[in-house]
């Protein structure tokens, strides 16, 4: 907790992505305040007005609570020395993502940008979702390159392993047939996204690899993860940031 606070002192961390990335945001907010885990219930909640001294900026309960691709949720945790913001995405690049990037361009610029979008992209859009995904990844990475300051640390969080049987809010009835193949599609999508992120010189954190033997910490919907897994993700991210900034982390 103390090391995390020091590492992110006077830094702006932006996290963009789906409900798993929202939990990444939530655990980081907890880490910056106390030595405790977020509860399962807290990680599961979406769009609430407040979470551990953060606040809902837009969307969520202030907007339309939906499982549709138009769902919005922007959260922010702010103190005198820390700023962490989360933007919910259902697609890796879109008009909405462009508007978020233009906000960054106007300032303040993030010091760290943690991003992933994958499962919605390859399951909820059109007939050739993988082709669209590749094209959108290229658009996103090009725009990040153009808009963010060179010193911004961009971390592409690869998608986590899916279960054989999945049941999540985003898997609407007409998509139930995908639950057999989606976990393999995620592996293919991860390969494309990581290769492309690397070609743009962005950092890649392979969460799929790190959690392939941690399946006991995945919750029963086959998609989401428990507080123990999310604390491990926070530790991986913080270690990654420390290494990127050449900050020595005290060995535990």
In a domain, 7, yes or no: yes
In a domain, 159, yes or no: yes
Using a pLDDT cut of 90, give the percent of the chain over it.
Answer: 80
In a domain, 251, yes or no: no
The pLDDT, as a whole number, for residue 20 is: 95
The pLDDT, as a whole number, for residue 69 is: 85
Per-residue confidence at 169, pLDDT binned at 50, 70, 90? Answer: low
Which tens digit of pLDDT belongs to each residue from 107-146?
899 999 999 999 999 988 877 889 999 999 999 999 999 9
Stretch 208-229: mean pLDDT, rounded? 93
Dihedrals phi, psi of 170, to nearest 5 degrees: -75, -20
The pLDDT, as a whole number, for residue 63 is: 87
For the chain, the average pLDDT equals 91
DSSP structure class, residue 252:
-
Q: Detail the DSSP E strand segments found in 51-201.
A: 55-59, 73-78, 82-88, 112-116, 153-157
3-state secondary structure of 96: helix
**How many domains does the structure of the chain reveal?**
1
Which tens digit of pLDDT belongs to each residue from 186-195?
999 999 999 9
CA-to-CA distance for 164 and 161, rounded, in angstroms? 10
The pLDDT, as a whole number, for residue 68 is: 82
The pLDDT, as a whole number, for residue 168 is: 62
Distance of CA 214 to the CA centre of its chain: 19
Per-residue confidence at 238, pLDDT binned at 50, 70, 90? Answer: very high
User: What CATH number did the domain enclosing 184 receive?
Assistant: 3.40.50.1110
Per-residue confidence at 10, pLDDT binned at 50, 70, 90? Answer: very high
In a domain, 252, yes or no: no
In a domain, 110, yes or no: yes
- Inter-residue contact 212 to 161 (CB < 8 Å): yes
In a domain, 249, yes or no: no
CA-to-CA distance for 207 and 135, rounded, in angstroms? 23
Domain of 152? 2-244
Residue 170 has pLDDT above 60, yes or no: no
Residue 65 has pLDDT above 80, yes or no: no
In a domain, 75, yes or no: yes
In a domain, 161, yes or no: yes
């Amino acid at each position: 907790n103390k090391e995390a606070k020091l590492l992110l002192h006077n830094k702006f961390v932006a996290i963009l992505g789906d409900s798993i990335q929202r939990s990444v945001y939530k655990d980081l907010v907890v880490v910056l305040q106390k030595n405790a885990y977020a509860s399962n219930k807290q990680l599961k909640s979406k769009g609430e007005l407040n979470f551990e001294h953060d606040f809902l900026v837009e969307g969520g309960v202030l907007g339309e609570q939906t499982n549709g691709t138009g769902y919005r949720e922007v959260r922010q945790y702010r103190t005198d020395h820390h700023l962490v913001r989360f933007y919910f995405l259902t697609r890796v690049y879109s008009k909405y993502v462009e508007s978020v990037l233009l906000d960054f361009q106007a300032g303040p610029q993030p010091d760290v940008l943690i991003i992933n979008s994958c499962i919605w992209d390859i399951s909820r859009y059109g007939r050739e979702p993988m082709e669209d995904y590749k094209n959108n990844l290229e658009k996103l990475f090009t725009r990040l390159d153009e808009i963010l300051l060179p010193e911004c640390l961009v971390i592409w969080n690869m998608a986590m392993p899916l279960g054989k049987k999945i049941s999540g809010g985003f898997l609407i009835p007409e998509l139930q047939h995908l639950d057999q193949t989606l976990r393999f599609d995620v592996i293919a999508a991860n390969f494309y996204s990581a290769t492309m992120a690397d070609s743009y010189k962005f950092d890649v954190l392979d969460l799929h690899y790190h959690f392939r033997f941690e399946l006991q910490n995945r919750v029963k919907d086959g998609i989401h993860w428990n507080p123990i897994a999310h604390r491990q993700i926070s530790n991986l991210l913080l270690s990654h940031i420390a290494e990127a900034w050449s900050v020595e982390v005290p060995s535990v």
